[in-house]
Amino acid sequence: MELLPFVRAACASLVLASVAPASAAELRARVSSATSIACSEAVCDCLDANQQPIACPATVVDQQDSGPSAVAVERTFENEIEAFFQALDGRTTTYVRTEGSAAFGTLHALAVAHADAGGEWVANGGSASPGEAEGSVTVEQRDTLTIQSPSPEAPVQLVFTQSVTTRGEAGVGAGSAVDPCDANAAAEARVSALLAVSSTSQQGGALEYERIVHSCNPPAVTGEPVATLPITVLGGEQVTLAQVLEAEVSARMDGGPFTDARVLDADAYVDGAETVFVFVRVVTPGASYTAESGTVYPTPEPGALASAAAALAALCAARRQRAGRT
């Protein structure tokens, strides 16, 4: 399922190494969303999230960008459209919520998309108006570490860890016996995280993770939710870390008259109370670093990240089992 062009453009992956930062330490949060209902003005009355009349067919789009910031940032947008048949008991609702926040060491994203139809006319097999909701969140952090070594220009080993603790779900026809792959609706949730590390001596690398959940397909995963990157640099060098977290959701309900493949709802979400962490461990005894942001990044406790990864895997397995029983 393709997101609307402006949503896809807003959350396209950044080529971090090629972007010259305005500052050695900065944060940024961007959210984009779109909701639409395809019902003509002659047939439906449409209302916005404030229950104010808007023209049918209705489409509402929004983009918010915090811009570069040296302090923690957050952006949130929530929108809903409802369309009611003028002469029949039937309605369609689309809803989207996008939320992103960035602080040094932690990035958070929440995205929810929902579309459904109801009313006595629709429940009895009457035609339903199509609805679609889409949202994206992009949050970023960038910081520069100056490395101090026990003796001038001595080698210093660092280990960077990216921990992704988010989850995503997508489904259609809740409680319905319709095969999601045959349904006249679709939903998708995607989350991706990229941590890029570079130094003045060209040492570094990248850690990437992506998970896509579609209402018809099993989850597709690239990379590991917890991954480490060791590098060795010299005392006095500067090391730049740059991280991007993206979340996208899309829910489409095609409506129409009753058929064996018709479902009346579609849902997708990406959520994580503390979505992505960065840990920095200085391995070389006596060495340290000073961050441009003033942040002292946490050092993971032995076994803690492995336990978190195992818990996330168990949660996902349990959700797949429950989905298989419905």
For the chain, helix, strand, coil in percent to 5 are 10, 55, 35
- 29-33, 45-49, 182-186, 273-277, range with the lowest pLDDT: 273-277
**Helices marked H in the chain — which ranges?**
5-10, 120-123, 304-325
Residue 320, SS3?
helix
User: What b/e sequence results for 54-81 when a residue is b if at least 16 CB atoms lie within 10 Å of its CB, and e otherwise?
Assistant: bebbbebeebeebeeeeeebebebebbb
- Average pLDDT value for the chain: 87
* pTM summary value: 0.86
Which pLDDT belongs to residue 275? 86
Instruction: DSSP for 136-186, please give it.
Output: EEEEEEEEEEEEE-SSTT-EEEEEEEEEE--EEEEEESTT--S-TTTSSEE
Please give the span between the terminal C-alpha atoms of the chain, in angstroms, as a whole number: 24
Q: Considering the chain, what percentage of its residues have pLDDT values greater than 70?
A: 84
Peptide bond into 257 cis (omega under 30): no
Which pLDDT belongs to residue 24? 78
Q: pLDDT (tens digit, 9 = 90+) per residue, 192-247?
A: 999 999 999 989 999 999 999 999 999 999 999 999 999 999 999 999 999 999 99
Domain ranges in the chain are: 5-325
Does the pLDDT value for residue 11 go beyond 80?
A: no
Which pLDDT belongs to residue 300? 83
Task: Identify which has the larger pLDDT, 29 or 313.
Answer: 29
Does the pLDDT value for residue 170 go beyond 80?
A: yes
CA atoms within 13 A on the CB side of 96: 32
Cα–Cα dist 197/179, whole Å: 44
User: CA nearest 39: which of 96, 2, 112, 88?
Assistant: 88
Q: Which two tokens stand for residue 159?
A: 């280990």
Does the pLDDT value for residue 131 go beyond 60?
A: yes
- Paired with 185 in beta bridges are 253
